[in-house]
Amino acid sequence: MIEVKEIVRLWLDGRSQREVSELTMADPKTVPRYVETARACGLDRDGDLAQLTDELLAAVVSGARPQRPHGRGASWQALAGQQEQLEEWIDKGLTLTKIHTMLGRRGIVVSYRTLHRYAINQLGFGRRRTTVRVIDGEPGSEIQVDLGRLGLIPDPATGTKRALHGLIFTAVYSRYMFVYPTQRQTLDEVIAGFDAAWAFFEGVFAVVIPDNMKAIVDRADAIEPRINDAFREYAQARGFVIDPTRVRKPCDKLRVEDVFPTCARTSLLERTFGILTTAGHGRRRGAG
């Protein structure tokens, strides 16, 4: 109310709308809206300031302010519709300036100030996250599994290059790691990778925490994920429990997330391949 009163007072005092905008630091588009509403409410620029009563000022504010049935403007509602995407971008470490640009490419045009307010109020942007120490548990109790792209390798049959992926198994307690290279992500290939890992570790871990790969998880859900029936039967036969991570929550499997970038950089470095054999290889990292 005080800011609006200052806008109207300066206008009644004979100043131009541009001067009013500069003096009050109000948006140049905002000042004309309040001025036109003041005129519609009967304020006369030739009159004195006594005509600017509290009742008349309240009418100006009510008439000029856009209707917000949900308590927020259209820009805020547009950002609310992108909540999940905004969370993903912020989790990836994108700056708000970059996010503002990417929203514009999607046709979501909002002011940077509105985006900044929304990110702080709704997404916790800029707040320091509470660090919770995770207990590693007992040796052999838990292993984390991730599937990711390692790079490109030549295909002798076609003369082109094909993508090489890797199933990465990291023991939570010792950080002992096993990598199973594969060019397919089928159920049979994933099971073959698990069997190779059990042979490498010389035993089966009690709990497996996998990424939400299609060969293992049919439907991802934070509370009730749907596990592939065939893989569940495999887990029952080998005697381990499946506890998949939440979608887009890398903190649920940090032990394997921490080693994946290093594995992706070094797995194909200075190496040549003829025909890929899925034999897997292990690497020791901070074993204890």
Contacts of 76 (CB under 8 A, 6+ apart): 114, 118
Per-residue pLDDT band at 288 (split at 50, 70, 90): very low
d(CA 278, CA 122): 46
- Predicted pLDDT at 253: 60
Residue keyed to tokens 């800011």:
3
Distance CA 35, CA 41 (A): 10
In whole angstroms, give the CA distance from residue 241 to residue 219: 17
The residue to which tokens 């109000």 are assigned: 26
> For residue range 104-139, what is the model confidence (pLDDT) as tens digits?
888 888 888 889 988 888 888 876 666 666 677 788
User: What gap in Å lies between CA 164 and CA 151, rounded to an integer?
Assistant: 5
**pLDDT one-digit tens code per residue, 217-249:** 998 776 778 899 999 999 999 999 998 876 666
CA 61, CA 65: separation in Å to the nearest integer? 6
- Cite the DSSP H helix spans in 228-283: 229-238, 254-266
In 10 A of CB 65, how many CB atoms? 13
Predicted confidence (pLDDT) per residue in 18-70, tens digit? 888 888 887 787 888 888 888 887 777 766 666 777 777 787 777 766 555 55
